């Protein structure tokens, strides 16, 4: 498949022509689909959508668990140039309706929701049906691609949490995805005999990697439901039983397996590569996984914002990454199709200095759907030249460029940078120091400012009895006094959001409101 395909629908047709009889999705022995099966099911779904009046540019909301219907609808949507919007089926009605109000879909596919969701026509889907009832009578013949589809046509809209508490939808184009797929094939050398985990929820950006790295290289996708992902024994048993070769998740899931003593070669089977991203992986914990799984399994640290088509850098870890065990691994170099700027107040910083990362290139998305105000702030003209249009995305991530290698080190989030006692502090730097302490499994640091009072509050999850004085003493060996938390709370586990990341708003409500 090459970029000459110019649309995701055509690119998938090329994959089906080559790998048609190979297995595309494996749920279990009784429910598996070949590429021909999946393509025909997508064609049926597309014809159903056409009959319902869906046209290029309309949005298709999919509030389903991983199922034949969900995957087929995603492919049907891109075949028609109608961007899909994956929603968490467990979302509170208020959040669901806020997202629907923004993206204004023409139709919603859900399970057990009746004929309308949030005032929008809905289609009820059985999550376990091989042949969804809604399109069972439709023709499975290939559909003609609408003439209006171009590389700039949106393929999907992925909603992320906004800093104001209102979700915002990043729109990603067919051209963005085609460049992403081309990079995936080159970066990882995926083969048609690769078996990929699908651990990430459909509504989470990481699932873009799972789906497109599999369906556009002829591999097999193995979906994991939420119950299995939360059970370490069931999770690792399914990884082994299905002979998965590629794992992709947030680091939290791998650290969860470490706590349960299941992050081992015996438990995970013959993985060729473990890929993780979405949050930092403390090196002191990552080293244990590296020692257990290598040689034989590659470990890749990836980084990338939702707004830039999932991933923009991937670093293959080696022994040199663990010369010291402080903090998290470096991001490395960006993929060749990205350009980068590291700026402070709109001006380039010197190597080794901290600045905000700006990303440019063909994987920078279209902006936030229906939010021109937010788009104009985050997707900006290259501040270093005004001669021609060159859009960069402001990541909000603070990085340092290594003065010797040019590689990037992640420092923290701009929105996690606080002013405390007159000092500018990165909360994540304190968190990394906490995670380096033996016995600390998880850590989050909050900043509370009321009137003239400012304090740092640490929340620490640990399986052993740690004392506040000991934690403060060990932090004092790493950090200046003004960075030491005023209070330390010990808990069994940090709360997680739907994507498996630490739920900072919940922590702030509990400990720093």
Smallest Cα–Cα separation from 213: which of 237, 236, 197?
A: 197
Indicate if 401 and 429 belong to the same structural domain: no
Smallest Cα–Cα separation from 293: which of 275, 314, 312?
A: 275
**pLDDT, position 500:** 83
Going by the DSSP 8-state scheme, the letter that residue 310 receives in this structure is: S
Indicate if 425 and 409 belong to the same structural domain: no
Indicate if 427 and 406 belong to the same structural domain: no
In a domain, 500, yes or no: yes
Question: Do residues 290 and 264 lie in contact, with contact meaning Cβ atoms separated by under 8 Å?
Answer: no
**pLDDT, position 451:** 61
Question: Do residues 2 and 181 lie in contact, with contact meaning Cβ atoms separated by under 8 Å?
Answer: no
Smallest Cα–Cα separation from 444: which of 394, 499, 510?
A: 510
Indicate if 151 and 11 belong to the same structural domain: yes
Q: What is the pLDDT of residues 67-88, one digit of tens each?
A: 999 999 999 999 999 999 999 9
Better-scored residue on pLDDT, 214 or 345: 214
CB atoms within 10 A of CB 182: 18
The beta-strand segments (E) located in 283-331 are 298-303, 313-316
Q: How many domains, the chain? A: 3
Q: What gap in Å lies between CA 367 and CA 379, rounded to an integer?
A: 7
In a domain, 139, yes or no: yes
**CATH at 497:** 3.30.300.30
Indicate if 52 and 152 belong to the same structural domain: yes
Q: How many CA atoms lie within 13 A of 400 on its CB side?
A: 11
Indicate if 361 and 441 belong to the same structural domain: no
- Percent of the chain whose pLDDT exceeds 70: 97
In a domain, 306, yes or no: no
For residue 429, pLDDT over 90 is answered with no
Indicate if 367 and 507 belong to the same structural domain: no
Going by the DSSP 8-state scheme, the letter that residue 496 receives in this structure is: B
**pLDDT, position 293:** 97
Q: What gap in Å lies between CA 130 and CA 27, rounded to an integer?
A: 10
Better-scored residue on pLDDT, 113 or 297: 297
Question: Where among 360, 378, 413 does a domain terminate?
Answer: 413
In a domain, 323, yes or no: no
Better-scored residue on pLDDT, 358 or 429: 358
Give the mean pLDDT of the chain: 93
Question: Do residues 316 and 392 lie in contact, with contact meaning Cβ atoms separated by under 8 Å?
Answer: no
Q: What is the pLDDT of residues 129-146, one digit of tens each?
A: 888 999 999 999 999 999
**pLDDT, position 4:** 61
Range of the domain at 107: 1-24+31-173
**pLDDT, position 141:** 96
In a domain, 11, yes or no: yes
**pLDDT, position 413:** 84
For residue 114, pLDDT over 80 is answered with no
Indicate if 84 and 145 belong to the same structural domain: yes
**pLDDT, position 165:** 56
Q: What gap in Å lies between CA 206 and CA 276, rounded to an integer?
A: 9
| pLDDT band, residue 422 (cuts 50/70/90) | low
Per-residue pLDDT, averaged over 207-213, amounts to 98
In a domain, 246, yes or no: no
**CATH at 409:** 2.30.38.10
Indicate if 129 and 168 belong to the same structural domain: yes
For residue 392, pLDDT over 90 is answered with yes
Indicate if 387 and 428 belong to the same structural domain: no
Question: Where among 152, 173, 194 does a domain terminate?
Answer: 173
DSSP state letters, 164-192: TSS-EEEEEEHHHHHHHHHHHHHHH---T
In a domain, 425, yes or no: yes
Indicate if 386 and 452 belong to the same structural domain: no
Per-residue pLDDT, averaged over 198-226, amounts to 97
Q: What is the pLDDT of residues 333-342, one digit of tens each?
A: 899 999 999 9
For residue 3, pLDDT over 90 is answered with no
Q: What gap in Å lies between CA 73 and CA 75, rounded to an integer?
A: 5
Q: Which two tokens stand for residue 67?
A: 């199922």
**CATH at 117:** 3.40.50.12780
Indicate if 65 and 154 belong to the same structural domain: yes
Better-scored residue on pLDDT, 155 or 270: 155
Q: Which helix (H) or strand (E) holds 26?
A: strand 23-28
For residue 349, pLDDT over 80 is answered with yes
Q: What gap in Å lies between CA 125 and CA 447, rounded to an integer?
A: 44
- Percent of the chain whose pLDDT exceeds 90: 79
Q: What is the pLDDT of residues 255-308, one digit of tens each?
A: 999 999 999 999 999 899 999 998 889 999 999 999 999 999 999 999 999 999
Question: Where among 365, 388, 413 does a domain terminate?
Answer: 413
**pLDDT, position 452:** 63
Report the phi/psi class of residue 12: left, alpha or beta, with left for phi > 0 and alpha for psi in -120 to 50: alpha
Smallest Cα–Cα separation from 364: which of 340, 386, 344?
A: 340
CA dihedral 188, 190, 195, 198 (to 10 degrees): 50
In a domain, 433, yes or no: yes
Q: What is the pLDDT of residues 157-194, one digit of tens each?
A: 999 875 555 789 999 999 999 999 999 999 999 999 99
């Amino acid at each position: 498949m090459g970029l000459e395909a110019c649309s995701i629908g055509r690119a998938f047709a090329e994959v089906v022509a080559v790998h048609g009889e190979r297995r595309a999705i494996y749920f279990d022995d009784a429910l598996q689909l070949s590429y021909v099966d999946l393509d025909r099911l997508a064609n049926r779904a597309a014809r159903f959508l056409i009959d319902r009046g869906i046209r290029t540019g309309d949005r298709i909301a999919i509030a389903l668990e991983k199922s034949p219907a969900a995957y087929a609808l995603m492919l049907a949507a891109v075949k028609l140039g109608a961007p899909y919007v994956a929603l968490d089926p467990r979302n509170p009605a208020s959040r669901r309706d806020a997202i629907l109000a923004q993206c204004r879909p023409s139709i919603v596919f859900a399970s057990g929701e009746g004929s309308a969701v949030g005032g929008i026509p809905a289609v009820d889907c059985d999550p376990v049906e091989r042949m969804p009832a809604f399109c069972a009578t439709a023709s499975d013949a290939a559909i003609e691609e609408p003439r209006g589809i171009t590389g700039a046509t949106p393929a999907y809209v992925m909603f992320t949490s906004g800093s104001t508490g209102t979700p915002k939808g990043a729109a990603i184009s067919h051209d963005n995805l085609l460049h992403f797929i081309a990079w995936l094939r080159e970066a990882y050398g995926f083969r048609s005999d690769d078996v990929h985990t699908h651990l990430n929820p459909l509504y989470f950006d990481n699932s873009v990697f799972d789906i497109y790295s599999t369906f556009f290289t002829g591999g097999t996708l193995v979906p994991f439901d939420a119950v299995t992902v939360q059970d370490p024994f069931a999770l690792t048993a399914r990884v082994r039983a299905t002979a998965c070769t590629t794992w992709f998740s947030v680091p939290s899931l791998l650290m969860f397996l470490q706590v349960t003593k299941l992050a081992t070669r015996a438990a995970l089977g013959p993985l060729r590569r473990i890929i993780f991203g979405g949050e930092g992986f403390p090196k002191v914990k990552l080293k244990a996984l590296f020692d257990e799984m290598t040689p034989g399994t590659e470990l890749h640290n990836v980084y990338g914002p939702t707004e830039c088509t999932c991933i923009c850098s991937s670093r293959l870890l080696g022994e040199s990454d663990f010369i010291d065990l402080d903090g998290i691994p470096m991001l490395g170099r960006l993929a060749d199709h990205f350009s980068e700027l590291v700026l402070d107040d709109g001006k380039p910083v010197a190597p080794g200095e901290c600045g905000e990362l700006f990303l440019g290139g063909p994987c920078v998305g279209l902006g936030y759907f229906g939010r021109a105000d937010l788009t104009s702030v985050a997707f900006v003209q290259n501040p270093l030249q005004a001669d021609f249009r060159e859009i960069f995305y402001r990541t909000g991530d603070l990085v340092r460029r290594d003065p010797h290698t040019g590689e990037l080190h992640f420092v923290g989030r701009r929105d996690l940078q606080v002013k405390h006692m007159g000092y500018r502090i990165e909360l994540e730097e304190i968190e990394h120091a906490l995670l380096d302490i033996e016995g600390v499994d998880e850590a989050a640091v909050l900043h509370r400012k009321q009137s003239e009072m400012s304090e740092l509050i640490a929340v620490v999850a640990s399986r052993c009895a740690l004392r506040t004085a000991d934690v403060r003493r060990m932090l004092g060996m790493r950090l200046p006094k003004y960075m030491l938390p005023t209070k330390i709370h010990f808990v069994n586990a940090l709360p997680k959001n739907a994507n498996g990341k630490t739920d900072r708003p919940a922590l702030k409500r509990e400990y720093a409101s």
